[in-house]
Amino acid sequence: MKASSVKTWHWIHKWTSLVCTVFALLLCITGLPLIFTHEIDHALGNTVDLPELSSVVLEERGGRHGSIDDMVEDARKRRPGHAVQFVSQDDDEPDRWYVRMGETVNARRASAVFAYDGRTGRFVSEYPLDQGVMNVLIRLHIDMFAGLAGTLFLGATGVVLVASMISGVVIYGPYMQKLAFGVLRRRRSARLLWLDVHNLLGIVTLGWFMIVTATGVINTLATPIFGRWQATHLSEMLAPYRSAAPAADDGVESPQRALDAALAHVPDTEVAFMAFPGNDFSGPRQFVAFLRGSTPWRSKLLKPVLMDAQTGRVLDSRDLPLYVSALLVSQPLHFGDYGGAPLKIIWALLDVLSIVVLGSGLYLWLRKRNVSFESWQKSLTAAEDAASGAT
């Protein structure tokens, strides 16, 4: 590569990195404990184990599932006047269900999240929302407490970070002309050592960090992605039923009956979550259940089913468009929660290595700020010649 090209790419790498390093460090550092959200929530008592049920109780129930109708009725009593937004089933514990309430059915922030025992329909615990360390970490990570604007800003940062990584790979080649892979020159200057550390760790974590960053960017687009789905597919599904007057003799709204109909409609599925009437993810007088498949790959994808709230009848069901599926697949790839505990540990270790890459990059810039590119190159060449002289 020509010397002038190296200088240009070095400049690109420096400036793209400078713009995003502080925010990237924030994301990597807050991200580290977030990998273990499930475990930390448990340790802090934010989530509670389901009670042991005696065999007598289970026999009496004869395998009957607790009713969601009971859960929803209980939730409404605990927050009178508030609206039920969603009911969901835990990914890892099929007997654990959640009811999410909001001041209004479309309020962005939940007013309560209640956990229920699916075997009996009984209340288990209330999740402590908007408080504690985990809440601070997740708010910093998702939007820096700045709502959608914060989220989109972080998404833009992610895009710049991708550019920084690509430019870093471009200048990796020239930097490694005379250095074997993995050599860390410890006995020369601190600056040289940290350069070698930065290059080795950077190139070695590249695959993982690139995917986590790219899926992070996609995740920041969740609101516009779902917004578009609502404005197109959902709107089309609801069109035939919008102008229909409510039937004179309406049945009682039963979420359980509607969900049962949805599950019968799409075989081999479980419910991920179900949106209640009036919510943006459903219709004014309809439920929408988002069902996930039973194989590992299919469980990452969702199929929405539209049901009439009054009769529980399935009205329509359509596959999600590609851009929504891309978002859904980006979630496990970003969180690292699809491969059990070993994957979470690996995720944490790779995150630590990435933090070292970012930190060493920052250090290198601070130490090199007042040095021209040419004299920096000269000092590197001198170090390489000295190293080759010694061997």
Partner 1 sequence: MSRQTTLQIWGMPIFLTALSTVGLVIGLFEDGAADVICHVSLAVPIGVTLRHVGRAFFSKPPGVGPHS
Question: In the complex, which residues of this chain contact partner 1 (CB under 8 A)?
Answer: 169, 172-173, 176-184, 186-187, 200-201, 203-208, 211, 296-297, 300, 329, 332-333, 338-340, 342-343, 346, 349-350, 353, 384, 387-388, 391
Pick 33 or 332: Cβ nearer partner 1: 332
Pick 80 or 389: Cβ nearer partner 1: 389
How far, in Å, CA of 125 to CA of 46, rounded?
Answer: 8
Pick 25 or 346: Cβ nearer partner 1: 346
Please calculate the CA angle 218-127-68 and round it to the nearest 5 degrees: 90
Pick 38 or 79: Cβ nearer partner 1: 38
Q: Tell which residue, 337, 275, 356, has the closest CA to residue 92.
A: 337
CA pseudo-torsion sign 220, 226, 228, 231:
negative
Least distance from partner 1 to the Cβ atom of residue 201, Å: 6
- Burial letters 81-99, b for 16+ CB under 10 A, else e: ebbbbbbbbbeeeebbbbb
What are the structure tokens assigned to 388, written together? Answer: 């080759």
Pick 205 or 219: Cβ nearer partner 1: 205
Least distance from partner 1 to the Cβ atom of residue 352, Å: 10
Least distance from partner 1 to the Cβ atom of residue 98, Å: 24
How far, in Å, CA of 389 to CA of 391, rounded?
Answer: 6
DSSP 326-346: HHHHHHHHHH--SSHHHHHHH
Pick 182 or 224: Cβ nearer partner 1: 182
Least distance from partner 1 to the Cβ atom of residue 381, Å: 12
Least distance from partner 1 to the Cβ atom of residue 196, Å: 8
Least distance from partner 1 to the Cβ atom of residue 353, Å: 6
How far, in Å, CA of 34 to CA of 219, rounded?
Answer: 15
Output the CA–CA distances (angstroms, integers) from residue 43 to 38, 51, 113, 134, 216, in the order listed: 9, 17, 18, 12, 27
